Amino acid sequence: MAEFTMELNDDQKQVRDWIHGFAADVIRPAAAEWDEREETPWPVIQEAAKVGIYSLDFYAQQFFDPTGLGIPMAMEELFWGDAGIALSIVGTGLAAIGVVANGTEEQIGTWIPQMYGTPDDVKVAAFCSSEPDAGSDVGSMRTRAVYDQAKDEWVLNGTKTWATNGGIANVHIVVAVVDPELGTKGHASFIVPPNTPGLSQGQKFKKHGIRASHTAEVVLEDVRVPGSCLLGGKEKLDERLARAHERAKAGGGERVKNAAMATFEASRPAVGAMAVGTARAAFEVALDYAKTRTQFGRPIIDNQGVAFQLADMRTSIDAARLLVWRASWMAVAGKPFTSAEGSMSKLFASEVAKKVTAQAVQILGGNGFTREYPVERMHRDSAIYTIFEGTSEIQRLVIARTLSGMPIR
């Protein structure tokens, strides 16, 4: 188990500086253009692939950092560059992680390379879970997967929404209900290969922020995938469903749900790190502006009203990072989240990002309200952090119920 430290080692610093350089030299100069275009920034993704940032190997190296700080450090630097482009770069990772976590070795070896493509022909992947009536309430999921034993195929029907890279992905990972009686325990994940008939893009959303990241509905109409595309395989699924039925009969369903919630808890610090990156970027712009903008014959940072805002902004950013790092270290060290520390980090960091970016706009005044300055975009982008990967309201519910010992449904 790695000892907790707040000092990055030399290797981590080297990786951090490398990612920061890419964010400063490649992502930031392209941010305004792709935000306006509201299109996937394929040239930037290609550049990320060429240098090794857009690859499973890169994320695996950060994930297996024994201190737990590799992923949050990488996320903070990329999202410091720009949230929309960064999400386009890391979005495939959501689908890849789903395959790595639940798939067989053969599935990992077959499908992960197809998710990323090559530096000369980059591809993206999509993880499709949310539905029009099933966002935070995953128990209301309606997409169904029915097994056709005669053909050894699964037939998928339903509509997914809010899917990053949905419809434009080379490979889609789709969560569907296979046993409605078991609620969330009756879900399974499926690989939908490229050009599978019946899968189509529905509405592409025109968003308030993170506009360089493609977000759309995915419609599944009698989509047939081979039995080999069930993540983990049929035998493993049947065993899991049988155990879930036995637990349900024995009244142990809530214990299983809480164990699943612990898995979600471990992923939330990464989103918190994204929020920290955006907040830090906005703070730096505001600080530089306050030191150079003069009013009444002196820099505006000399005014207590501005200086105190900047002090609070920096303090809250550092506090958010500490919560993210604590939760990330706890996850890799196997420490139980007895107080929902994962949700705490995501909740606090996302709220900090919204507040800090709003303060940055205020400090820049009229300039901050225009697209001539990046804080306007950062403020719009920050709104997503309190919504995806569980809204702030859901985070508070998880924290409160964890503290009280109440079941988390």
Q: What are the residue numbers of the active site?
A: 389
Q: Are 209 and 380 in contact (CB under 8 A)?
A: yes
Tell me the CA distances in angstroms from 291 to 13, 304, 306, 309, 355, one per residue in order. Answer: 28, 13, 10, 13, 21
What b/e readout covers 281-299, taking b as 16+ CB neighbours within 10 angstroms?
A: bbbebbbebbeeeeeeeee
Residue type, 247: R
User: Dihedral of CA 236/239/245/248: which sign?
Assistant: negative
3 state SS of 65: coil
User: Dihedral of CA 165/168/170/176: which sign?
Assistant: positive
Report the distance separating Cα 171 and Cα 199, nearest Å: 11
Beta strand 171-177 with 125-128: parallel, antiparallel or unpaired?
parallel
DSSP letter string over 76-92? HHHHHH-HHHHHHHHHH
Q: Could you tell me which of 189, 207, 210 has the C-alpha nearest to residue 89?
A: 210
Residue type, 279: A
Q: Could you tell me which of 173, 143, 142, 139 has the C-alpha nearest to residue 155?
A: 143
Q: Are 218 and 167 in contact (CB under 8 A)?
A: yes
